[in-house]
Amino acid sequence: MAELKSEGVNLAAVCQITATEDKKKTFSSCRRVIETACKMGAEMVFLPEACDYIQRSPADSVRYAEGMDGPTMSAFKQLAKEHKVWLSIGGFHEKNPEDDSKMLNTHVILDDRGDVVSRYSKTHLFSVDIQGQFKLDERDCCTPGKTIVPPVDTPLGKVGLGICYDLRFPEFSMMLTRQGAEILTFPSAFTIPTGMAHWEPLLRSRAIENQCYVIAAAQTGKHNDGRASYGHAMIVDPWGAVVAHCSEGEGVAVAQIDHGYLQKVRTSMPVWDHRRTDLYPTF
């Protein structure tokens, strides 16, 4: 793994909102949580997947998608610049330049000048059919991303970008950690049935096995008559402890990203040195 950032403590904010089909209303929610996080002293603010909107149908989701130079991303850039804060735009419905019948689900990192410093399009597309409860297939409207993006340098340290369903694939997180990630991000819109069963165990597992902080912003509540999200945005430390948590409704939670503690965890139990790469050479 790459060399860790020098010892220090930085403040991260994880947010949750309830996006709807109304872009202006949804952006107002984002503005509120960003402003709250800044008042709390956060150096970087993490927003959930689909923080621009959640539509009622796959067709509408595609129809309302924008390019990176569109009004929604321009407004987020202005917020970052105005508040001098780094932003994780956890899931932006981006127009697909290669196929106008589909879109990309793109995670964008903005620095405190409003510049794009990294972007990642979701590679694992969610598909679930829980009979009698919920059915959703992201493949109806999205094209999967083609690459894992290397971790990006931020005020908090090296941040590895994921989105929601990526959380379920440990190889994805391990690859980012091998590339130097100190923080793994999984901005999400978890369904209520899967969230109740799996959300916290998965987040804590990714933190423990990779010895990384995990920051998971979340959608929460009822978006429309056919869709609701679990919420419970949280930050998990490298030992697997939940150090910040939102319960229900729009909210913000903050936690310290302590690089001295991260180094201590990795040094006291050097699992990467103990890996039997002769048995599983991929990692």
Instruction: Identify whether 1 is part of a domain.
Output: no
Please give the mean pLDDT across all residues of the chain: 94
127: confidence class by pLDDT, cuts 50, 70, 90 = confident
pLDDT of 196 strictly over 60: yes
Question: Given this model, what pLDDT does residue 47 score?
Answer: 98
Instruction: Identify whether 3 is part of a domain.
Output: no
Question: Given this model, what pLDDT does residue 134 score?
Answer: 61
Instruction: Identify whether 86 is part of a domain.
Output: yes
12 or 141: which leads in pLDDT = 12
pLDDT of 125 strictly over 80: yes
Instruction: Identify whether 215 is part of a domain.
Output: yes
Percent of the chain with pLDDT over 70: 94
Tell me the three-class secondary structure of the chain, residue by residue. Answer: CCCCCCCCEEEEEEEEECCCCCHHHHHHHHHHHHHHHHHCCCCEEECCCCCCCCCCCHHHHHHCCECCCCHHHHHHHHHHHHHCCEEEEEEEEEECCCCCCCEEEEEEEECCCCCEEEEEECCCCCEEEECCCEEEEHHHCECCCCCCCCCEEECCEEEEECCHHHHHCHHHHHHHHHCCCCEEECCECCEHHHHHHHHHHHHHHHHHHHCCEEEECEEEEEEECCEEEECCCEEECCCCCEEEECCCCCEEEEEEEEHHHHHHHHHHCCHHHHCCCCCCCCC
Q: What is the mean pLDDT of residues 133-139?
A: 71
Q: What is the mean pLDDT of residues 15-24?
A: 98
Q: Which amino acid is residue 193, in one-letter code? A: P
Instruction: Identify whether 136 is part of a domain.
Output: yes
Q: What is the mean pLDDT of residues 71-79?
A: 98
Tell me the pLDDT tens digit for each residue of 242-264.
Answer: 999 998 899 999 999 999 999 99
**What is the extent of the structural domain holding 268?**
9-272
Q: What is the mean pLDDT of residues 129-145?
A: 77
132 or 71: which leads in pLDDT = 71
Instruction: Identify whether 255 is part of a domain.
Output: yes
281: confidence class by pLDDT, cuts 50, 70, 90 = confident
Nearest to 50 by CA among 165, 158, 157: 165
Instruction: Identify whether 283 is part of a domain.
Output: no
Instruction: Identify whether 4 is part of a domain.
Output: no
2: confidence class by pLDDT, cuts 50, 70, 90 = very low
Percent of the chain with pLDDT over 90: 86
93 or 283: which leads in pLDDT = 93
| Torsion angles phi and psi, residue 199, rounded to 5 | -55, -65
Domain count, the chain: 1
Please report, for the domain that includes residue 187, its CATH number.
Answer: 3.60.110.10
Question: Given this model, what pLDDT does residue 74 score?
Answer: 98
Catalytic residues: 49, 122, 164
pLDDT of 139 strictly over 90: no
Q: Comparing 21-25, 55-59, 133-137, 164-168, which segment has the lowest mean pLDDT?
A: 133-137
13: confidence class by pLDDT, cuts 50, 70, 90 = very high
